[in-house]
Structure 1
């Protein structure tokens, strides 16, 4: 069962599982992983869902910046 229920498509189909795993990892760090794992997000606020997405973007940017800094 996939956590992704939207119509966004990833360019690499293999990345879907990795992104789902990453999403659960971030949700766990924000102490809302049990609600995410259930697959039903009706009990989550928009703020909680947004905080997971925001944290994912923050970590991806940080990782990219670190990679660039290590190349120089």
Structure 2
């Protein structure tokens, strides 16, 4: 979530995007998750005033979708290898 979380000195180190090119996709996934869960997203991008339960639900939803996407990608890659034998 934008702005990180936690307090003080941890702020800059949390929720760092490891692949900067993925920022737009992750933000899009976050908005999709918020819409699906009925969480109002803050206009300024600061999630500090949203309940931890809601932000946790957003993160869980995002992880669930990322895992499903990775599984589908692996399945299609392995399916192509298996049919090529």
2:38 equivalent in structure 1: 31
Runs of at least 5 residues in structure 1 that lack an aligned partner in the other structure: none
Q: Is the 8 A contact 1:24 1:37 kept in 2?
A: no
> TM-score under structure 2 normalisation?
0.67
Using the alignment, how far apart are the partners of 1:40 and 1:11 within structure 2? 20
Q: What is the number of residues matched between the two proteins?
A: 67
Which is greater in Rg? Answer: 2
Runs of at least 5 residues in structure 2 that lack an aligned partner in the other structure: 5-12, 80-85
Pick aligned residue for 1:59 from 51, 59, 65 = 65
Equivalent positions of 1:14-53 (< 5 A) are: 14-32=21-39, 35-38=40-43, 39-41=45-47, 42=49, 44-53=50-59
Following TM superposition, the consecutive aligned residue runs of length 4 or more in structure 1 with deviations greater than 2 angstroms are 37-41
Using the alignment, how far apart are the partners of 1:14 and 1:64 within structure 2? 18
